[in-house]
Amino acid sequence: MMRDIQQEIKGLLEDLDALLVAHFYQKDEIVHLAHFSGDSLELAKKGSQSSKNLIVFCGVGFMGESVKILAPQKEVIMPKIACCSMARMVSSTYFDNSLALLESYGIPASMLTPITYINSNADVKAKVGKMGGLVCTSSNAKKIFEHTYQQQKKIFFLPDKCLGENLARSYGLKSAILGIDSQKKVLEADVICYNGFCSVHQLFTPDDVKFFRQKYPDILIAAHPECRPDVVELADFVGSTSQIIAYVRALPETQKVAVGTEFNLVNRLRPTPIGKKNTFVLSSTIPECPTMNETTLEDIFEVLKAYKNHRPYNQINIDTQTAVFAKQALDKMLELS
């Protein structure tokens, strides 16, 4: 008899009374199986506020960590602890080095409020929390930014230079990239961005927008704010993964749209033949997030089976000091979103 791995996973989830959550960039079969799929903010909330004690998180490392930080009493396991390449671009040491460089420019830490994108590891969130800063996600970044800017300090935005620059531009603020732009430009900037980026969203270029607009003059362009500023500037809509889904689903299926975000999400947006025909990824190559794509059904099955057999692995654990300060930065975000 053919093995039905979906049924086996469902059985294990029931036996263990566990919640299976998946980010929208996960493979189709995982999103379909999950009790809940969402963007990074929705998943952090859903996972940490669930009545279940065991959370099985399909996504990248910082996402599982966020649930554990917000709800330390819960058991969080990840079928694959894959690390977002952008999150890997910053560490607590790089954070300290950045502050030291800014100090040498004449900008002490007391003149800065740090905001870290949720795509960062717990130790970086803890550094930000310790300084009185906050976390943001792509869906609440504007709110967090507006609130922080009122504090009359310069914003140190990390690790995504694109999101930082896109936010600064949308409020007419001056921005500079630390380590790339001149000291003068950094000194004049309202928003100082760390030099990190998403390798997947870097794939989308203004030439891609031009190509689609030339081919289909009435096409709409939707982009994630991790895209380059020169792409975001040309887009008709900019939003988080959830916001892109809502935007595209509200369009008539005959409306052509090119979307600048990860392939699995775009490919699932409009399942009917007409919808599929009118939905494009905004690049000539397939924009797959390699780490999001690492998780398989087999991984989910194995991690659940091991947990059931009292041989757990891939549990998310964060040392208490780090978790306390990281939680302060995450809690501030939740209060504002």
Residues that bind ligand SF4 (CB under 6 A): 60, 84-86, 119, 198-200, 226, 262, 289, 291-292
Per partner kind, with CB cut-offs from 5 to 8 A, the member of ligand SF4, ligand 13P, none near residue 240 is ligand 13P
Read out DSSP for 89-112? Answer: G--HHHHHHHHHHHHHTT--GGGE
Question: At its nearest, how many Å lie between ligand 13P and the CB of residue 138?
Answer: 4
C-alpha distance from residue 45 to each of 42, 49, 55, 98, 330 (Å): 5, 6, 12, 30, 11
Bridge-based pairing of strands 18-23 and 36-38 is: parallel
Select the residue interacting with ligand 13P from 26, 37, 40, 175 (CB under 6 A).
40
Question: At its nearest, how many Å lie between ligand 13P and the CB of residue 174?
Answer: 26
Select the residue interacting with ligand 13P from 75, 160, 165, 226 (CB under 6 A).
226
What angle, 0 to 180 degrees and rounded to 10, lies between the N-to-C axes of helices 61-70 and 40-49?
40
Is the CB of 136 or the CB of 186 nearer to ligand 13P?
A: 136
Select the residue interacting with ligand 13P from 9, 20, 34, 39 (CB under 6 A).
39
Does 137 participate in binding ligand 13P (rule CB under 6 A)?
Answer: yes
Q: Please list, residue by residue across 219-257, b when 16 or more beta carbons sit within 10 angstroms of its beta carbon and e when fewer do.
A: bbbbbbbbbbbebbebbebbbbbbbbbebbeebeeeebb
Question: At its nearest, how many Å lie between ligand 13P and the CB of residue 330?
Answer: 14
Beta bridge partners of 192: 156, 176
CA angle, residues 170, 225, 254, in degrees to nearest 5: 105
Does 165 participate in binding ligand 13P (rule CB under 6 A)?
Answer: no
Select the residue interacting with ligand 13P from 102, 112, 191, 198 (CB under 6 A).
198
How far is it, in rounded angstroms, from Cα 91 to Cα 95?
Answer: 6
Per partner kind, with CB cut-offs from 5 to 8 A, the member of ligand SF4, ligand 13P, none near residue 136 is none
Question: At its nearest, how many Å lie between ligand 13P and the CB of residue 288?
Answer: 12
Per partner kind, with CB cut-offs from 5 to 8 A, the member of ligand 13P, ligand SF4, none near residue 138 is ligand 13P
How far is it, in rounded angstroms, from Cα 144 to Cα 215?
Answer: 38
Per partner kind, with CB cut-offs from 5 to 8 A, the member of ligand SF4, ligand 13P, none near residue 165 is none
Does 119 participate in binding ligand 13P (rule CB under 6 A)?
Answer: yes
Question: At its nearest, how many Å lie between ligand 13P and the CB of residue 21?
Answer: 12
Task: Please write down the long-range contacts of 104-110, taking CB distance under 8 Å and 24 or more positions apart.
Answer: 105/183, 105/186, 105/187, 106/187, 107/154, 107/186, 107/187, 107/192
Q: Name the residues that contact ligand 13P, by CB under 6 A.
A: 39-41, 119, 137-139, 198, 224, 226, 240-241
